[in-house]
Amino acid sequence: MHPVLARQLRRLSLDRDTPPDLTSWRRFLERVGRCYADADDDRYTRERLMELSSHEMSTLHQQLRDHDERRFQALLAGSSDTTLVFGAAGQVEFVSSSATRVLHLATDELQGRPMLAFVQRHVHPDDAGHLMAELQYLLDTAGREEVVEFRLRRPDGSWRDVEGLGRNLLSDQAVRGVLLTLRDMSERKQLERELTRQAFSDQLTGLPNRALLHDRTEQAIRLAGRHGLVAALLLLDLDRFKEVNDTLGHHHGDLLLQQVAERLQGSMRDSDTVARLGGDEFAVLLPKVASVQDAAGVADKLSAAIEAPFTVDGLTLDVEASIGVAAYPDHGASANELLQRADVAMYAAKAAHLSYVVYDPALDRHSPRRLGLLGQLRRALAAGELVVHYQPKAEVRSGRIIGVEALVRWQHPEYGLLGPGEFVPLAETTGLIRPLTSYVLEAALCQCRGWLDAGRDLSVAVNLSTRCLLDLALPDQIIGLLEDTAVAPERLVLEITESSIMTDPARALEILNRLHALGVQLAIDDFGTGYSSMAYLKSLPVQELKVDRSFVQHLRDNQSDAVIVRSTVDLGHNLGLRVVAEGVEDEATLGELASLGCDSVQGYYLAKPMPEAELVAWLAAQPQPVAAHD
Ligand SMILES: [Mg+2]
């Protein structure tokens, strides 16, 4: 290059990096060429002409810069992103014109405003704090880059999801600010949400699906484990749903399932999860319940909710459900275990035509005959197949018959007389234990009334299951029965076990105190087989301890049994309680118990449990019939 030309170029600070504008360059070079031609040997003229052209060069340069700026602005305006630049003091210094088109931000309103004003005016209140902190951090940290997501208000008040890429370019002479590039993410977020929803929800009902239920169950178990809570899973299967599909078609079947879903959800709290697992199978997760009994109460409520008729396309449909209940920590420690156990309980409920069954390890072992019995129990109660037998109890000192224990039997049309062990534990897994206990209580108190009327002063003891002991309605039910039969409360003895008290000690104590206040007698049954502490026993309002038969039967041969019985008698007496020995089968044992100071006895040596008519005859045959005091 000619040195004069090179000098001119340097003077104008043009170099090879300047964007070439070929037309301008060509014109320039032609002019230079003409200069050379016109003043071939005239250096002065040449130099002068070069000076003139430098003025044009400078104009040309300015034009190029203007062109670049326009092109830059056009690119920004056409971009789908919006660019903001905040100055060192945090004020908005630049807003790209795309802001109006893409984000509906008024650029002139923003210009010069503080960062905080922008955030307060346009950003979702829940995101504002985080965004301000990020922006401040960007401003304070040279060279920093951050990605931050937040929501921007739309003109209609709804929110759009925005991703902001922030860069601290304060030290960049061309920018001297924090650059924030905003991109509208609403569509992508919406898609993400939709994909998540599809992956975790049931298409027909919109309820959570099996995958989401599994996740939430695992989460509930972890939480319950940490805070010592009970989490329960209820599995619900509609009975005879196939008939609806077969008779009315899948369309009506689907409509029914949607209504069932709505009704289930309407019956539950927001914190509970109602899920559809497929077909006509639903599940309900109760992440926080006080006890398994409470979960059973929810099952009862759900089954009642389902039993109200449904109207599908003008048709009234009656639906019933079988529900299986399993709870952490009693029945399983993982979501899979709880689901599997709730499933076992649900099938037991189905087999037995019951609205619900609480899982019990015994269910896994039960023979079809047992499950069949469970199914017949409700009918048996209505048909009067359940009968109450009475076993006498005598005072050791006087030999006087002071009371009886009411024991339920099932006079089964096919299997004959069944003992309580065959059906009471099964009834305990269902709501049937309540009507069963009510039945025994009522029979026993009516009988007691009859004995009193006949001049016999007998107390009557009734065994209470865990479920019934923890039933807050029990005291009122007992008040009603005592009033109806006009039996004095102290003639009723309620036998409870240590383990049922320990299921929920606070609640058991509350109910026991209420029963005690009524004047009803309370006895700890099967004493010695439970695990309650002696200290705890002191706080219970009980009047009687019944030493379990397993210690009494071998009392004379087994030294350790003798020690247990002796210390139970001592302990009971120290606490001011009567001590009754169960399972007394011979005279020698009775003698031993008398020497240990035991107050009363019960067992085959005295009499086995017998129907009421037999009892009356037996009592009449006793040497000293006892006269009633009232
Ligand atoms: Mg008993």
CA of 499 to the centre of ligand 1 (A): 13
- In 3D space, the residue among 459, 385, 375, 374 whose CA is nearest the CA of residue 416 turns out to be 385
CA of 128 to the centre of ligand 1 (A): 67
Q: How far apart are the first and last CA of the chain?
A: 138
CA of 93 to the centre of ligand 1 (A): 87
- In 3D space, the residue among 419, 529, 443, 532 whose CA is nearest the CA of residue 492 turns out to be 443
CA of 618 to the centre of ligand 1 (A): 21
CA of 331 to the centre of ligand 1 (A): 27
CA of 529 to the centre of ligand 1 (A): 13
CA of 221 to the centre of ligand 1 (A): 36
Answer for the pair 556, 579: CB distance below 8 angstroms, yes or no: no
CA of 495 to the centre of ligand 1 (A): 6
CA of 413 to the centre of ligand 1 (A): 26
CA of 380 to the centre of ligand 1 (A): 23
Instruction: Indicate the DSSP class of residue 490.
Output: G
Specify the DSSP element, H or E, that contains 206.
none
- In 3D space, the residue among 510, 444, 503 whose CA is nearest the CA of residue 474 turns out to be 510
CA of 358 to the centre of ligand 1 (A): 24
HEC string of 82-114? Answer: EEEEECCCCEEEEECCHHHHHHCCCHHHHCCCE
In this predicted structure, what is the pLDDT of residue 627? 41
In this predicted structure, what is the pLDDT of residue 72? 73
CA of 405 to the centre of ligand 1 (A): 7
CA of 373 to the centre of ligand 1 (A): 23
CA distance 628 to 539: 33
Residue 288 tokens, joined = 């926080």
CA of 422 to the centre of ligand 1 (A): 16
CA distance 115 to 112: 9
Specify the DSSP element, H or E, that contains 55.
helix 43-78
CA distance 177 to 171: 8
CA of 328 to the centre of ligand 1 (A): 30
Backbone angles phi, psi at 290, to 5 degrees: -70, -35
In this predicted structure, what is the pLDDT of residue 19? 53
CA of 404 to the centre of ligand 1 (A): 10
CA of 580 to the centre of ligand 1 (A): 11
In this predicted structure, what is the pLDDT of residue 259? 95
CA of 484 to the centre of ligand 1 (A): 24
CA of 101 to the centre of ligand 1 (A): 83
In this predicted structure, what is the pLDDT of residue 611? 95
Amino acid present at 488 = A
- What domains are there in the chain, each with its CATH number? 3-76 (no CATH), 79-190 (3.30.450.20), 201-365 (3.30.70.270), 375-620 (3.20.20.450)
State the CB neighbour count (10 A cutoff) for residue 455.
12
Answer for the pair 413, 401: CB distance below 8 angstroms, yes or no: no
CA of 300 to the centre of ligand 1 (A): 28
CA of 463 to the centre of ligand 1 (A): 5
CA of 247 to the centre of ligand 1 (A): 52
Residues 6+ apart with CB under 8 A from 111: 92, 93, 94, 95
* Angle, CA 527 vertex, CA 521 and CA 528 arms, to 5°: 160
State the CB neighbour count (10 A cutoff) for residue 575.
15
Backbone angles phi, psi at 458, to 5 degrees: -125, 140
CA distance 626 to 444: 19
Please report which residue ranges of 389-544 form alpha helices under DSSP H.
420-428, 433-453, 466-469, 474-485, 498-503, 505-518, 534-539
CA of 506 to the centre of ligand 1 (A): 23
CA of 385 to the centre of ligand 1 (A): 21
CA of 496 to the centre of ligand 1 (A): 8
CA of 361 to the centre of ligand 1 (A): 23
Instruction: Indicate the DSSP class of residue 142.
Output: T
Query: What is the full DSSP assignment across 410-439?
Result: EEETTTEEE-HHHHHHHHHTSTTHHHHHHH
- Residue ranges, the chain, pLDDT below 50: 625-630
Backbone angles phi, psi at 334, to 5 degrees: -140, 165
HEC string of 69-82? Answer: HHHHHHHHHHCCCE
